[in-house]
Amino acid sequence: EAKLRNLAYVAVGKIVRRAPQLVKKDVALVQKFFDAMSKEDPETRLGVQESLSLMANAFKDIDPSCQSLMEALIMQNIEQVVLQTNGDVKDQPQSRLMSVQYARTVFPSDHIPSRYILLLACGDTKEDVRVEAMKALHIAQTKEKEIEKNSTKLPPPKLPKFTDMMKYISEKGSLRVKTQNKYVIGNYTLPFIPATYEEMILYLHMCLSQDSGQIPDMESLATMQTQAPGIAKYIRDNLQGDNSIQTYFDFIKTLLSAVSGSSAMYCLVELVAIAPEMASQIVSQTDWMKNYMFSSKDDLKEFGSQMYAVVICQQSKDIIKDSMEELMKNLNHKGFEVQMGSVIGLGYLIGQYLNDRSQSCTMEVDGTSKVEEEIKSIITTCLQKLAAILLLPTESNVSLKMSACLSLGEIGRNAQLLLPSGGGDDGEGEITKLSIVTSLLKILKSGSEPNKPKQFELHMTTGEALVCAAQGRQSSAARDLWTESEEDYRNRVTVKETKVEWYLESLLNKSLVSSNPHLRQAACIWLLALTKTCGPDPAVQSKLSQIQGAFMRLLSENDDITQDIASKGLGLVYEICTPEQKDSLVSELVDTLMTGKRVKHDFKGDTTVFEEGSLGKSPDGGSLSTYKELCAIANDLNQPDLIYKFMHLANHNAMWNSRKGAAFGFSTIASQAGEQLRPYLAQIVPRLYRYQFDPNPKIQQAMSSIWNALIQDNKDAVDKFISQILYDLNKNLTSTQWRIRESSCLAVNDLLRGRPLDDVVDQLPELWENCLRVRDDIKESVRNAADLACRSLSRASIKICDINYGKLGEKATRLVMPCLLKHSLQSSVSEVRAIGLSTMLKISKNAGPLLKPNIPVLVTALLEAVSGLEPQVLNYFSLQVSSNQKDLEKLDSARIAASRMSPMMETVNYCVQYIDSDVLVELVPRLTDLIKSGIGIGTKAGCSSFVIQLVHHCPQDLTPFAGKLMSAFLAGLSDRNSSVRKTYASALGHLIKVAKDSSVEKLIIKLKSWYLDKEDEAARHACGLTLQSMCHQSQDIMKRHATQAVPLAFFAMHEKKP
């Protein structure tokens, strides 16, 4: 019964999914199934769960009258606790999981009650319920990102309005505090468990972010902070005087009073920073803020310090002074966390104070108060103490030094350091701006690893820092990160003098032309950061062509990271340059991609020619990478010319690096440069198609990225340029470079799969010839790729050489068959012969009458192949039993029988029906030559069998040629193999049916003279077999020639048996 119920539940679900209109208003059905979840046994419960899942979409657009019922049902199951008769609690995670699915599926993304239900599920004890609930809550922002990325015009999913959602959660929270669902921790009572509470805060932040016109981004707290200025503007413009912000503040504060949490703390700091009236409410709670400042968790420590700074800086200058002094004293505190918290707190407090002071225009020297002078003195002392921390030994003070770096950076971001600039005449131990920079550089160098250049993140951070330094106060890093956007800051601040031009020239003229590849890589990253940040700057605009040239040179570097960064740099240059410069950039990239040419480099002794380890080690264990080391090894080996070989190899390597680099750059701008690239498509697409199959995975990946960026519809593009692509592949299949041959073979294999070849039939013979040639390549990987190409080409040829294709099929057959006959069956390579023969056999069956022009060559080639493809072991067996005539005859008979069943003989017999007098004119001379000079018992037996078929099929057409064939078979009667003699005798017996009487008479006279003149028993036996066959096959004809035949037969029958 349980199994039957299980099937019935699933059946209901499937019916409802097919016919949703049957149950659209029937919430009772869902209720019944939810109830069954708690009553059924575990196995049947899975069936109920599957059925509920199948039915969910049927209630998507539920009537408003039923909506409240559905809400109540889902809410009931989310929080349900079913008590059994004995009082035990029975957990039902499946019911809660289904409730989450219904809340997600049935209701729209801005439906407040269902979002509340999902938020409750985020605190579930079961992980799968929590995960599904979070997916449902964050699906709106995920879809918005996808829509933005794909630029589709569909309206993005909506979140509830912040004010409405806040009000709903607040009302529900005030009710839950009075029920058993409340959460008690210490002296605090929360309406929700902490996990649910924190998720609610984050969801409210998402709603607030969307209301401010932004796409909610909750990937990290750092990305959330980028949206703070937009939220600040929205609150100032729309929510002044609205109680929802106060409710939101109280809501967060309630949680943080009881439980600490990074996300909630961030939201509180953001709110305090963008809404000053909130700061005044927690002025008295400095001890509570300090608890966070001195927390063991780094993120809480940082957020606590930021909040402390914002709150304190809104107080009087005396309070600010006292706070600074207190934190400064804590720098000597025994507690390590207090020390670190004080270091970070000082950074944020001093930075916030200096920022507020610079914006409030109270910087007049004459009007400076005594308190401000004291604060200034304290700041200078703090800076000296923070700078002193940088000089501590790194091993035992890593965290403290990191905190000091953060603090000094925060202070310097907001204003100039209140320290002397410093110079060459500084005293020992004197703290100046220069000494701080020197200390920071020492830390930077001490953490670097010169033998491991992959320090991408470090270079990126360094590049951003250098750009900020070059811009000075113009840098957007100097803004208030909470309340001012980058655009607003740029519009507000104008700085006449910057160091951007000097910094750019330094990069272009020194760092980027260095012989050290690590420095070039770092400079490339720094130039990218500069171009990205300062694109509109006049200094950058005036040197765009030089920047473009620098990035183009860097595309030919050996390092993948450098190539990738240079390509991104070219993309940035392309965005900000003029139309003329765009045309020039595209033209240069296409040229590099097609030819692999690169900018000339001057070689010095320390110039790196090969990557470390790519040539192995020198005899003494040294490296072989720089020009100097290569010259040394050439001299040691007493082979000076070896250096030229090294340089040729390096040039080949660099050419492919240039192509790969151009591919990186190309993929970056391909999507933007549609118009500029259109004239080059016929030139680019064939090369690009082949490059996608390069044996080097990195080049393959780079070229594929271009293809994806450049080609919108892969199938249409290939179909459009298939002729040019195949021409390029044909040309490169026999290239001198193995990697080009291999990539061409792989490209042919891909190109011919499932595509119509109507436009490229003329290229098939050349393609066959080249593919078969490469099938015997010296390199194994090329041979394997060629095998794939030949197989694909075989399938394509078989398909198109079909009578159903009409004139196209006739043309294809006329072109392909002679090529295969010439280049495959005559080859000395067994694999080439096999693929050619297999293809011809299959084409023969499809082509039908189209084979007619090729039959003479085809048939003779197939008859030769009968013996050629016979297993060699049969020749070995034949040799072993040659001493025993009876065994040899049995073996030969078996070989002949097997050859007649071979695919070659099947095709030969199939071709017979298309043979007429026109074909015989060319066929008979070839056939007679094969009968006379053919090798192998299979070929000889096949010839006789084929002639017998011709006698039956076209006797009249064969009559003029019967004499030649009889002469050939007659000569074969002297063959050493008795089985061959039998087959030739049988053929002669059939041939006299169509031969002239004079030819028959000559045959009998010849047999008579052989029998009487030759002493060889085998010859006499052959004569007897021939006469016997003639009598059996053509009695009427033999009667006409009885006067010649009967005396011989009478004489022979009285011959003594040996």
Q: What is the residue-wise DSSP string for 70-111?
A: HHHHHHHHHS--EE-TTS-EE--HHHHHHHHHHHHHHS-TT-
**Among candidate residues 86, 85, 80, the one with its CA nearest the CA of residue 99:** 80
Q: Residues 763, 862: one domain?
A: yes
Residue with tokens 């690096």: 657
Q: Kind and range of the H or E element at 127?
A: helix 127-150
Assigned token pair, 266: 């961030």
- Cα(437)–Cα(434) distance, rounded to whole angstroms? 5
Higher pLDDT, 998 or 799: 799
What pLDDT is stored for residue 1018 in this prediction? 64
**Among candidate residues 887, 885, 907, 889, the one with its CA nearest the CA of residue 897:** 889
Whether 268 has a pLDDT exceeding 90, the answer reads yes
Q: 3-class SS at 183? A: strand
State the pLDDT confidence band at 93, using cuts at 50, 70 and 90.
confident
State the pLDDT confidence band at 156, using cuts at 50, 70 and 90.
low
Whether 88 has a pLDDT exceeding 60, the answer reads no
pLDDT digits (tens, 9 = 90+) for 1002-1042: 777 777 766 666 666 666 667 777 777 777 777 667 667 66
Q: Residues 896, 1045: one domain?
A: yes
pLDDT digits (tens, 9 = 90+) for 852-895: 787 888 788 877 777 665 555 565 566 656 655 566 666 666 66
Burial class (CB in 10 A: 0-12, 13-18, 19+), 1054: exposed
Beta bridge partners of 385: none
Identify whether the C-beta of residue 295 lies closer than 8 Å to the C-beta of residue 310: no
**Among candidate residues 488, 45, 414, the one with its CA nearest the CA of residue 236:** 488
Identify whether the C-beta of residue 328 lies closer than 8 Å to the C-beta of residue 374: no
Averaged over 95-122, what is the pLDDT?
Answer: 90
Residue 1046 located in a structural domain:
yes
CATH number of 777's domain:
1.25.10.10
What pLDDT is stored for residue 893 in this prediction? 67
What pLDDT is stored for residue 90 in this prediction? 57
Identify whether the C-beta of residue 467 lies closer than 8 Å to the C-beta of residue 530: yes
Instruction: Tell me how far apart the terminal alpha carbons of the chain are, to the nearest angstrom.
Output: 91
Higher pLDDT, 688 or 361: 688
Higher pLDDT, 427 or 751: 751
Whether 809 has a pLDDT exceeding 90, the answer reads no
Residue 516 located in a structural domain:
no
Residue with tokens 């020194």: 510
**Among candidate residues 739, 721, 741, 722, the one with its CA nearest the CA of residue 731:** 741
Assigned token pair, 29: 């059905």
Burial class (CB in 10 A: 0-12, 13-18, 19+), 522: buried
What pLDDT is stored for residue 137 in this prediction? 87
**Among candidate residues 32, 27, 24, 26, the one with its CA nearest the CA of residue 57:** 24
- Cα(452)–Cα(283) distance, rounded to whole angstroms? 50
Q: Residues 809, 902: one domain?
A: no
- Cα(66)–Cα(86) distance, rounded to whole angstroms? 35
Helix, strand, coil % in the chain, rounded to nearest 5:
75, 0, 25
State the pLDDT confidence band at 200, using cuts at 50, 70 and 90.
very high
What pLDDT is stored for residue 116 in this prediction? 93
State the pLDDT confidence band at 144, using cuts at 50, 70 and 90.
very low
Assigned token pair, 399: 């965290």
Higher pLDDT, 717 or 635: 717
Burial 964-1003 (b: 16+ CB within 10 A, else e): ebbbbbbebbebebbbbbbbbbbbbbbbbbbbeeebbbbb
Q: 3-class SS at 516? A: coil
**Among candidate residues 353, 259, 345, the one with its CA nearest the CA of residue 301:** 345
State the pLDDT confidence band at 361, using cuts at 50, 70 and 90.
low
State the pLDDT confidence band at 311, using cuts at 50, 70 and 90.
very high
Higher pLDDT, 559 or 506: 506
Averaged over 913-927, what is the pLDDT?
Answer: 81
Q: Kind and range of the H or E element at 690?
A: helix 681-691
Mean pLDDT for all residues in the chain: 79
What pLDDT is stored for residue 624 in this prediction? 45
Q: Residues 915, 1053: one domain?
A: yes
Q: Residues 850, 896: one domain?
A: no
Q: Residues 1049, 943: one domain?
A: yes
Averaged over 893-904, what is the pLDDT?
Answer: 69
Higher pLDDT, 563 or 58: 58
What pLDDT is stored for residue 671 in this prediction? 52
C-alpha pair distances (Å), 659 with each of 523, 680, 691, 835, 1037: 22, 16, 9, 35, 79
Q: Kind and range of the H or E element at 190?
A: strand 188-190
**Among candidate residues 456, 363, 357, 342, the one with its CA nearest the CA of residue 406:** 342
Averaged over 843-856, what is the pLDDT?
Answer: 79
Residue 613 located in a structural domain:
no
Q: Any idea what the Cα angle at residue 1009 is, between residues 1008 and 1011, rounded to 5°?
A: 65
Residue 1039: give the domain boundaries.
892-1058
Burial class (CB in 10 A: 0-12, 13-18, 19+), 723: middle
pLDDT digits (tens, 9 = 90+) for 178-193: 888 888 988 889 999 9
Residue 794 located in a structural domain:
yes
Whether 546 has a pLDDT exceeding 70, the answer reads yes
**Among candidate residues 576, 512, 521, the one with its CA nearest the CA of residue 544:** 576
Residue 28 located in a structural domain:
no
Share of the chain above pLDDT 90, in %: 18
Averaged over 245-249, what is the pLDDT?
Answer: 91
Q: 3-class SS at 540? A: helix
* Domains held by the chain: number: 2
What pLDDT is stored for residue 798 in this prediction? 87
- Cα(658)–Cα(589) distance, rounded to whole angstroms? 10
CATH number of 962's domain:
1.25.40.770
State the pLDDT confidence band at 409, using cuts at 50, 70 and 90.
very high
Among candidate residues 815, 838, 869, the one where a domain is terminated:
869
Q: Residues 931, 797: one domain?
A: no
Phi, psi angle pair for 927, to nearest 5°: -70, -40
Q: Residues 865, 920: one domain?
A: no
What pLDDT is stored for residue 601 in this prediction? 46
Assigned token pair, 347: 């950074």
Among candidate residues 854, 869, 884, the one where a domain is terminated:
869
Averaged over 527-533, what is the pLDDT?
Answer: 90
Q: Kind and range of the H or E element at 188?
A: strand 188-190
Among candidate residues 869, 903, 923, the one where a domain is terminated:
869
What pLDDT is stored for residue 427 in this prediction? 67
Identify whether the C-beta of residue 401 lies closer than 8 Å to the C-beta of residue 414: no
Residue 404 located in a structural domain:
no
Residue 1020 located in a structural domain:
yes
Q: Residues 1029, 965: one domain?
A: yes
Q: Kind and range of the H or E element at 309?
A: helix 298-312
**Sign (positive or negative) of CA dihedral 142, 146, 149, 152:** negative
Where would I find the H helices in 415-559?
433-446, 456-471, 486-492, 500-509, 517-533, 538-541, 544-554
What pLDDT is stored for residue 76 in this prediction? 86
Residue 959 located in a structural domain:
yes
Whether 278 has a pLDDT exceeding 80, the answer reads yes
What pLDDT is stored for residue 422 in this prediction? 80
State the pLDDT confidence band at 622, using cuts at 50, 70 and 90.
very low
Q: Residues 977, 856: one domain?
A: no
Averaged over 695-702, what is the pLDDT?
Answer: 76
- Cα(459)–Cα(757) distance, rounded to whole angstroms? 52
Q: Residues 841, 921: one domain?
A: no
Q: Residues 827, 898: one domain?
A: no
**Among candidate residues 604, 592, 502, 600, the one with its CA nearest the CA of residue 555:** 592
State the pLDDT confidence band at 16, using cuts at 50, 70 and 90.
confident
